[in-house]
Structure 1
């Protein structure tokens, strides 16, 4: 089975993989519905492929960072993400930070969530209004990469580390 674009980019990254999330909801899939119904599951087990990919990347000395810009009080979906962050993202080796949306007003941000790899390429994630992912777009244009690197750095510098963030 061929690797997805994200898997290939993770496996070839040499220094950093940085993700910026800006939405208050993504696709309300079966996992989300189970979680909100009280059917708890081990995210490290459910999404083991991600944990293995991140762990292998971090083991090579590549930093994996995720910044989330969130509305407060948190939407039900972002609350779900928050509750899964420690047993999933942090456990795999990601460094995760949270930035309340009201603190992002003065930042210039791209219009889409993205992954930035080694400050050399950007993988944009495109979503429909209901949060369903509709596609990805890999961009290596230096101006776009600089914009995304600057945006991520601005968010990261203002954001609160996961273990210190107190959502409401």
Structure 2
């Protein structure tokens, strides 16, 4: 495994991706950020004014999808959802507009799934970027690996979650 200082950026990893990138999220909250703070204050996004919310991340995703890369994101969440997840559900419109496929799985439906302990991105089923967070949800370090056992565990976990999860446009926040 290589640690954060030696890892290419997400954009570089995705640029080298040929067929698929999958992302599994396991937390009910992540570190505070200005966009979340604005939402908490009552600010809402004008989804028709794309220039006001489209970020470089969205373009990176759109470019990869245009090249034929299938990008899927699955989130395992507790219900009732946290305030952070309520916000993530709201801003997922940007992910979907950029070309990601997103699904939601209530944690109670994941009890029998062998899950890794950390969020990850898996690129082309061959390269794994593992995210390590502190207790408040800030990224402490990322690791990059191609260890076969980890690739197999994470790919299987993601596919099981994906098969059970509800597509974004059908998942209703409770």
TM-score interval, normalised by the smaller of the two chains: over 0.9
2:30 counterpart SS class: coil
* Change in 2 beyond 3 A, CA 1:36/1:64: same
Return the offset for 1:135. 1.4
Residues 1-168 of structure 1: pairs in structure 2 closer than 5 A: 4-41=8-45, 45-46=52-53, 48-86=55-93, 88-168=94-174
What TM-score do the two structures reach when normalised by structure 1?
0.94
Distance, in Å, in 1 between the alignment partners of 2:152 and 2:119 is 15
Return the offset for 1:48. 1.2
1:108-166, CA deviations, whole angstroms, 9 ceiling, x for partnerless residues? 00000000000001100110000111111001101110110000001000000011111
2:115 counterpart SS class: coil
Distance, in Å, in 2 between the alignment partners of 1:102 and 1:161 is 17
* Change in 2 beyond 3 A, CA 1:20/1:130: same
Q: Which runs of 4+ in 1 moved over 3 A?
A: 41-47
Return the offset for 1:22. 0.5
Pairwise CA RMSD: 1.5
What TM-score do the two structures reach when normalised by structure 2?
0.91
Listed as ranges, the gaps of 5+ residues in structure 1 are: none
2:92 counterpart SS class: helix
The count of residues paired between Structure 1 and Structure 2 equals 165
1:45-100, CA deviations, whole angstroms, 9 ceiling, x for partnerless residues? 445101100000000000000000000111000000001112x1000000000000
